[in-house]
Every structure is written in C-alpha cells, then in structure tokens.
Amino acid sequence: MTPRERLLAAIDRQPVDYVPCAPFFNPLTPQQRAGRRWEFPFGPSEQEMAEYAVCQLGVAPPVALPIGDYHPNFFMSLYYDPHPECTSKTWFEDDQIHKVWETPAGRLQASVNYDEKWPHGLDIPFFSDFTIGHFTRPWLASEADLECLRCILRPLDRREELDRARFECRAMKAVADRLGLATIAHVGMGLTGAMQLCGSQSVCMMAAEQPDLLRAYLELDHQRNLRHMELACQFGADIIRRNGFYETCDFYGPRMLESFLGPLLREEIEAVHAAGRRIGYTVNTGVMPMLDYLAGLDFDCILHIDMAAAGVDPVRIRDKLAGSKSLWMGPSSVYHMWDGDAEVPRRALRELLSVLGNQGVIVTPSPSVHSIMPWDNFLAVVDQWKQLR
C-alpha cells in the first residue's frame, strides 16, 4: 500500500498492511518559541516537513492544502473574502492595538492589550487563540457586530481568489503526489471560531444569555464552511478536517453541543460525503461526557483526543466510537511528549495500541509535534510505532 492508500483505508476502518503513523507538525509562532531551541531537523514549510517525514523517518503526514490564507501553526484556514466596500485600519495607542473595519453595515472594532507574547504584530486577526487572553474589546458582542461580520467573513467567490486558491492547492497536491501522501484541508471553526471572536468567558455567557446571536453566528460560519468544503474537495483534498477543539464539554454540556452544532455538523458531513471524501473532527479535552454525542455524528474519524487528560478512559472511547469511526491519536503532546524520559511517550503508545488494536487507528502525538519539544521523544514514538505496527 502507498502511504495515501494506507491512511485512507485506516480512516475507513478497512484492513491495512500496518497501522499508519501520520503525525501533525506544529512550528509554533516566534513568540511561542522564544527562549527555546528549534528542535525540528527541517524548516517550517509544509514541503520541508513532508519530505523529511517520508524520506528520513518513514512516517506519512497528510499534506495540507493552502486554501486561502492557511496558517500551519494554527492548523486552520483563516480565509474569507470581504465585501469590496470594506476597509480597515489599525493603530497602537496606550499599550493597546486597535483595529476598525468600516463595512456597509457599519463600524466593527476590536482592541487587545499588547505585550511580548502577542504574535500578530500591528494587527488583530479574527481567528487566533492569542486574541482570547488579550481582548479588551472583542470582535463579536452584539447583533450590530454580527451584521458587520456578515460583510467581511464571506466565502471565497471572486474569480481571482478562486484561481489563486486552485493554483496554490495544485502545487501542494503535486508534493503529496510525488511523496505518495494524502492531502488534507482544514475547514470550519464553529464554536472554536466564536470563542476567538468573543473570548472564552463571553462566548459561554452568550450561549446562555444570547443564544440567538450565537446561533446566527454559527449559521454564518456554517454557510462559509459548506462553500469552502466544496472548494477543498474540488481542489484535491482527500480529507476535510473540521476544527472542534473548543466544541467540547470543557465549555458546554452535550445537549448544548447538540442543540447549537448537531444539525450544522451533520449537514457538513453529508456535503463532504456526497463529494466522495472523508471528514474528521478534532477534539482534544473535555471529551468523555460527549462520547454519546460524538457517536451520533457520522464523522469518519475523530482526531487528537488527549489520552492523558483527566478522566480519559481509552477503553470507553474504543467501545463508544471505534465501531463507527477511526481514531487518529497517540501520546499526549502536553503530558507525554514534553517528558524528560523518552520511555514515557513510548509506554503511552504501547498502552494505547494495546487497547485500540490495529484497525481504524492512525498514530500521531495528540494534537501535534511542536518545534520546541524534545525531538528525541518523537523519534522514540516513531521507533516504538515501527516495533508495534
């Protein structure tokens, strides 16, 4: 089997010649890396990562298609096509960065405290984990804000943008084809994106006190997702990865998740399946209370569960999910991959595979290998995988 064939068969829970190892590599931002050594023996580009992984390590990461403005250090595509009348300006004042969008629906503004941990320079993006802890004024707090966002967060539609996306995806697909790898597109943010627009406490309060506003935002996101999933499938993605990182019971109960997200996710799943592609869903922590909810969603794969997070039981995960979904996971990036003893991630992988078996399983540190982690720990995971596969 080629690496691509093996990965897709594993996602489909079909027999494979051996369990694939398909890791995700996260270069992190310069601010996250500050004071620490770059551990990767390759550069930060998708092509360098893929070539080294295949040729030197014998592992088979999927190649991300750069649909729009893809940021590998966030594993998401932050792309949208503002109305042509939209303009923006950014300025720095009193230790804060301020950004204003002028739109046909009115003015939209956000502000953040600036410090040495801010990675975006003189800008405030819509979708970044770093806004959450820095906001003094979030992007989304009212119906008026949402109407402005409707003018900005529009799906790709203009010919020149579509041509650019098609061209860039073609180049990365050529890399994947040359190396025999699968391709993946990171599409859809949902409540993760809502948290990045509102802040963590504010979005949870919005779910309780302004549910109609949150539902309206999620519908806006959903319609953009459907279009971008369609484009990703047209441009050669084998797998769509839907971000559910903050769509878990760390923040919401299972019934809330079903109410806010269930119908939208089912429509996205159906659209990807209608195009003949696979779709996976990323969840990391807060997973155990939502296993029944996840089991009711027809995702082909669940990615990046943290096996070492409090209360996680791989046996229950297997029993609830493995009959209908593949599991793309491995040693914990937080608890195992940083350990000073390389035997720790080795042992974690042995324990996990002893529970999950060898069908419908793909190995990766969960959620990813970071550029400042001890590289020997990842080499230990690869070596252990080769012994067990």
Which domains does the chain possess?
Answer: 3-81+155-388 (3.20.20.210), 82-153 (no CATH)
Length, in residues, of the chain: 389
- Tens digits of residue pLDDT in 262-300: 999 999 999 999 999 999 999 999 999 999 999 999 999
Task: Specify the pTM.
Answer: 0.94
**Burial call 52-86: b when 16+ CB within 10 Å, e when fewer:** bbbeebebbbbbbbbbbebbbbbbbbbbbbeeeeb
- Tens digits of residue pLDDT in 347-374: 999 999 999 999 999 999 999 999 999 9
Contact in structure between 109 and 98 (CB atoms under 8 Å): yes
Residue 309, pLDDT above cutoff 60: yes
- Tens digits of residue pLDDT in 123-181: 999 999 999 999 999 999 999 999 999 999 999 888 988 898 899 899 999 999 999 99
